[in-house]
């Protein structure tokens, strides 16, 4: 009986954590409460349509996520206790990941898992949406839990020149990782409006906040904050107090578009494509989309991700935000299959649909290097019997 009581207690705690998936513990992030919204917006026009009196909203307006109900969160809690087994081919070992990254010269991209990438452009190393912890939660021992460790551990990362964050949710902005990164004084931090305080209180000094359609040049790189369809929160009283964004990352050789997390929009991505495209590479979220009635306003389907790739006129689509942490109801290994099928149906060559292994690095400069060093993930091919088991769960 005691064993079951402990299980029920754990499920209850997990339910509470998930009921406020990014807002579970009001005392953890007091810094959000101490920064006046007027200060956050001081450099911006008060008439911007995505600005509100006390924060931000999607524009065109879309309702942000509401409570998803107890059954949804109980399922999430269950899968945080009883993790899905990841197929062996889903991730490289860390030694393999480090060796591969070190053997590919020039511009490259390394998938660490979820929306965390190492992007090497023009000699600079960019870290996107840092998430390395076991739990995406304000608590270090409970909450949404990783199925697969980061492809390269925090301790073995190369020196980071630039951090880019899309928004402040725990699975995209890891407090422990941000605190532990070395050489904070040498790292340029580029974030949406309102996130400066988070980094400043963790001893970063070179921080730039940007509103949508604002940019910054760092030597020969240009970073531009662009719209996304999402929301923000880290505690119970900071809902949408900080902005969320997608990012154009432009070097003389390559033009990338990073979407950390977003729902689909009938207009936003077409407008980005018209104003800022054509992109060489777009890093697209393809997971966390079921049930649609609960997820449509914040997470796109794999088919919508491919459509976004077309709308921003991308040459190559890179899948992200899947196979790392259980945040929703779709089978965990379904997203890349649907992504690959949709991409081929929409006229993309298979070589332009990158379904990477966690820890894998691919060249952004020489297609031959990418072919020679990186085998296509088996999720984009006919599934093995073992993979079918996972796809049917």
> What pLDDT was estimated at residue 353?
98
Each residue's pLDDT tens digit in the chain (393 positions)? 444 444 545 555 545 544 444 333 333 333 333 444 444 444 444 468 999 999 999 999 887 666 667 777 788 788 788 888 889 899 999 999 999 999 999 999 999 999 999 999 999 999 999 999 998 878 777 778 899 999 999 999 999 999 999 999 999 999 999 999 999 999 999 999 999 999 999 999 999 999 999 999 999 999 999 999 999 999 888 999 999 999 999 999 999 999 999 999 999 999 999 999 899 999 999 998 988 888 888 899 999 999 999 999 999 999 999 999 988 889 999 999 999 999 999 999 999 999 999 999 999 987 655 545 444 454 444 333 433 333 333
- For residue 36, the model assigns a pLDDT of 44
Phi first, then psi, for residue 132 (nearest 5°) are -125, -15
Enclosing H/E stretch for 311: helix 302-311
DSSP string, 128-184: ES---SSB-SSSTTSSSBBSS--SS-GGGPPPPSEEE-S---TTTS-HHHHHH-S-G
Say whether 216 sits in a helix, a strand or coil.
Answer: strand
What is the pLDDT, as a whole number, of residue 381?
41
Helix (H, G, I), strand (E, B) or coil at 56: strand
Confidence at residue 343, expressed as pLDDT on a 0 to 100 scale: 98
Give the list of residues 6+ apart from residue 372 with CB closer than 8 angstroms, or none. Answer: none
How many Å apart are CA 39 and CA 69, to the nearest integer?
35
How much is the pLDDT for 368?
A: 56
| CATH superfamily of domain region 2-44+67-391 | Ribonuclease Z/Hydroxyacylglutathione hydrolase-like (3.60.15.10)
Question: Domain boundaries in the chain?
Answer: 2-44+67-391
């Amino acid at each position: 009986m005691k064993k079951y009581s402990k299980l029920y207690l754990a499920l209850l705690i997990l339910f509470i954590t998930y009921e406020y998936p990014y807002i579970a513990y009001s005392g953890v992030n007091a810094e959000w409460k101490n920064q006046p919204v007027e200060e956050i917006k001081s450099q911006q026009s008060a008439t911007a349509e995505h600005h509100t009196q006390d924060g931000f909203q999607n524009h065109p307006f879309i309702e942000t996520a509401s409570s998803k109900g107890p059954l949804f969160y109980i399922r999430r809690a269950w899968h945080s206790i009883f993790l899905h087994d990841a197929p062996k081919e889903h991730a490289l070992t860390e030694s393999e990941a480090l060796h591969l990254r070190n053997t590919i010269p020039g511009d490259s991209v390394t998938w660490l898992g979820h929306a965390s990438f190492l992007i090497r452009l023009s000699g600079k190393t960019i870290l996107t949406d840092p998430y390395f912890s076991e739990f995406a939660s304000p608590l270090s021992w409970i909450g949404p839990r990783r199925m697969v460790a980061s492809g390269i551990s925090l301790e073995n990362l190369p020196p980071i020149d630039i951090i880019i964050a899309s928004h402040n949710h725990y699975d995209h902005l890891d407090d422990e990782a941000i605190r532990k990164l070395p050489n904070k004084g040498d790292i340029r931090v580029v974030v949406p409006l309102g996130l400066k305080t988070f980094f400043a209180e963790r001893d970063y000094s070179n921080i730039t906040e940007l509103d949508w359609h604002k940019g910054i040049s760092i030597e020969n790189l240009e970073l531009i904050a662009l719209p996304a369809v999402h929301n923000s929160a880290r505690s119970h009283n900071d809902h949408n107090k900080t902005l969320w964004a997608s990012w154009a990352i432009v070097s003389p050789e390559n033009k990338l578009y990073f979407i950390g997390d977003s729902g689909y929009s009938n207009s936003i991505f077409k407008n980005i494509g018209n104003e800022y495209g054509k992109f060489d590479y777009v890093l697209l979220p393809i997971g966390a989309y079921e049930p649609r009635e609960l997820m449509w306003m914040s997470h796109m389907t794999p088919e919508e991700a491919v459509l976004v790739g077309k709308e921003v006129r991308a040459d190559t689509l890179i899948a992200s935000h899947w196979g790392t942490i259980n945040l929703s109801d779709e089978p965990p290994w379904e997203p890349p299959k649907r992504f690959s099928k949709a991409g081929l149906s929409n006229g993309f060559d298979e070589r332009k649909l990158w379904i990477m292994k966690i820890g894998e690095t691919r060249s952004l400069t020489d297609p031959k290097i990418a072919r020679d060093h990186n085998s296509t993930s088996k999720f984009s091919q006919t599934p093995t019997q073992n993979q079918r088991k996972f796809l049917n769960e």
